[in-house]
Amino acid sequence: MNRETKRMMDRQGKATTDGADFESEPFEVTDFRAAPRESRTAPQRMTPLRFAREIREELRQVAWPTRNEMVSYSAVVFVTLIIMITLIYLLNYAFGHGVVYMFQK
């Protein structure tokens, strides 16, 4: 927990004097011994069909942008690209002429 969070919680009256949260449960370490080998399941063989199904399932969970969002994102990328190309061109031009000027003297 950082200092800003502690101050906010203190203002809201949710923190103790040491900064601990009133609402949180005390942390307990549980028994974390490894499960016996018999109970572990063997990994399933990956087939091309299973791979394609898993990809399709994952792609269904993706939050795809709308057309308007895509247009605005593309515009931002395009404008940024033009600015960076211009900046790099100008710096290259200035340094190139500066080096030529230095070596001509």
Residue 15 DSSP class:
B
pTM for the full model? 0.46
CA 68 vs CA 20, 26, 40, 63, 77: distances in Å: 44, 47, 48, 14, 14
Residue 17 DSSP class:
T
CA 45 vs CA 39, 42, 49, 51: distances in Å: 18, 9, 11, 10
Least confident of 21-25, 32-36, 50-54, 71-75: 21-25
pLDDT digits (tens, 9 = 90+) for 58-104: 999 999 999 999 999 999 999 999 999 999 999 999 999 999 999 98
**Within a 10 A sphere around the Cβ of 15, how many other Cβ atoms?**
19
